[in-house]
Amino acid sequence: MSEDERYGLNRQVRLLGPLPLDSGAALAPVEYAYETYGTLNADASNAILICHALTGDQYVASKHPLTGKDGWWVRMVGPGKPIDTDRHFVICANVIGSCLGSSGPATINPATDEPWGMDFPVLTIADMVRAQAMLLDHLGIERLHAVVGGSMGGMQSISWAALYPERVKSAVIIASAARHSAQNIAFHEVGRQAIMADPRWRGGAYYADDDPPSSGLAVARMAAHITYLSEAGLTEKFGRRLQDREAKTFGFDADFQVESYLRHQGISFVDRFDANSYLYITRAMDYFDLAEAHGGVLAHAFKGSKTRFCLISFDSDWLYPTSESRTMVHALNAAGAEVSFMELSSPFGHDSFLLENPEMNRIVDGFLKAGEGR
């Protein structure tokens, strides 16, 4: 298997497409940057697809080439971990619309030989999933042992089960929702407006000058970052403590540690993320409402589903609160689907799913192992 060019770290592929999109447009070709870990078994039955979140990437368990940091989910993915690269063949692909090598506004539009910019078609979560299905076809995987994702990755995971029930044996959906709430759309709109209000955004055509709207993107990230944490978490981490100073300056410098932290989050984000991608992906999340295509009844999305589901929420997550997971659980119950659900306790808000949580690992491990006997 190791001889196969399709498998390994830092893979890149151009799929011819076209990929028909929900907007009515089509995308061709579909560029994919992805990584695989572990070995695909003889009957290709041990594949797990990991779907990343809004600003995530394919480097789920290997060093990020820009930041040099460890993969974003090494606590969950690796040898002996719940998603066990000794047992499973793990795939993680940069989602289309993003900027780490897959088709997005920063890649070249074949019609103009220029970066797409805002001519890139608007995407939906379902488009992202259909594109991933094309990638799996290329990789020779008909049926996934599991699809796993948190946050936007969870939206993709549950969409996978709805769009391709016969291709998904088990689905893990963590800190996610079956639709984007008004509050979530509102926060995204703040971020988009911050980017578009930056004079350097220039209608999205900033690639040629290599002068991106970094200030706007940094503000967008700062606002979003607050929603990933919790009041209790912020209080515990920063309180009202001052940053490297004994007293307030009576000015507008970052007096407080929490300000300094947020500024740092904003500044470091612009080095690894494209502002237009941020617009496109947040839009896709806002458009997400899985029940919409099923007459407004979420349970209809899972009628007759043979997929096993495992949902996890966190009690301090106010961005994707437990009530959103319960809505999905109730719909899955109503559809007679096999579902497990648990709300875990953690003070770290929405970001909890990325952090160390032994209980989460125990549940995912047990759930995946139980699916292997079938």
The CA–CA distances, whole Å, from 185 to 173, 181, 267, 328 equal: 20, 6, 23, 19
Helix (H) or strand (E) holding 218: helix 214-228
- Smallest distance, Å, CB 166 to other proteins? 20
19-20 and 77-78 strand pairing: unpaired
Is 148 within 8 Å of 172 (Cβ atoms)? yes
- Smallest distance, Å, CB 310 to other proteins? 7
Interface map 251-290 toward other proteins (x if CB under 8 A) = ----------------------------------------
Q: From the candidates 145, 157, 350, 352, give the one annotated as an active-site residue.
A: 350
Task: Please report where in the chains the tokens 């609160």 appear, as a residue.
Answer: 321
Packed helices 125-139 and 275-286: angle between N→C axes, nearest 10 degrees: 110
350: annotated active-site residue? yes
Q: Which range of residues in 249-257, 264-272, 276-284, 356-364 is near other proteins by CB under 8 A?
A: 356-364
How far is residue 105's CA from residue 99's CA, in Å, rounded to a whole number?
Answer: 8
Nearer to other proteins (CB atom), residue 258 or residue 301: 301
Helix (H) or strand (E) holding 214: helix 214-228
- Smallest distance, Å, CB 85 to other proteins? 20
Applying CB under 8 A, among 341, 346, 350, 353 the residue interacting with other proteins is 341
Query: Does residue 248 interact with other proteins by CB under 8 A?
Result: no
Structure letter (DSSP) for residue 204: G
How far is residue 209's CA from residue 66's CA, in Å, rounded to a whole number?
Answer: 21
119: annotated active-site residue? no
Query: Does residue 178 interact with other proteins by CB under 8 A?
Result: no
317: annotated active-site residue? yes
Q: Which range of residues in 2-10, 39-47, 98-106, 358-366 is near other proteins by CB under 8 A?
A: 358-366
Is 241 within 8 Å of 217 (Cβ atoms)? no
Q: Residue 99: what are its φ and ψ, rounded to 5°?
A: -140, 20
How far is residue 256's CA from residue 227's CA, in Å, rounded to a whole number?
Answer: 19
- Smallest distance, Å, CB 172 to other proteins? 11
Applying CB under 8 A, among 221, 308, 320, 357 the residue interacting with other proteins is 308
For residue 259, the cross-strand partners are none
- Smallest distance, Å, CB 306 to other proteins? 12
- Smallest distance, Å, CB 98 to other proteins? 32
Nearer to other proteins (CB atom), residue 240 or residue 374: 374
Query: Does residue 353 interact with other proteins by CB under 8 A?
Result: no
Is 255 within 8 Å of 243 (Cβ atoms)? yes
Applying CB under 8 A, among 125, 219, 310, 354 the residue interacting with other proteins is 310
Cα dihedral sign, 171-175-181-187: negative
Q: Number of residues in contact with other proteins, rule: CB under 8 A?
A: 27
Query: Does residue 291 interact with other proteins by CB under 8 A?
Result: no
- Provide the annotated active-site residues: 151, 317, 350
The site for other proteins (CB under 8 A) is made up of 308, 310, 326, 329-331, 333-334, 336, 338-345, 359, 362-363, 365-367, 369-371, 373
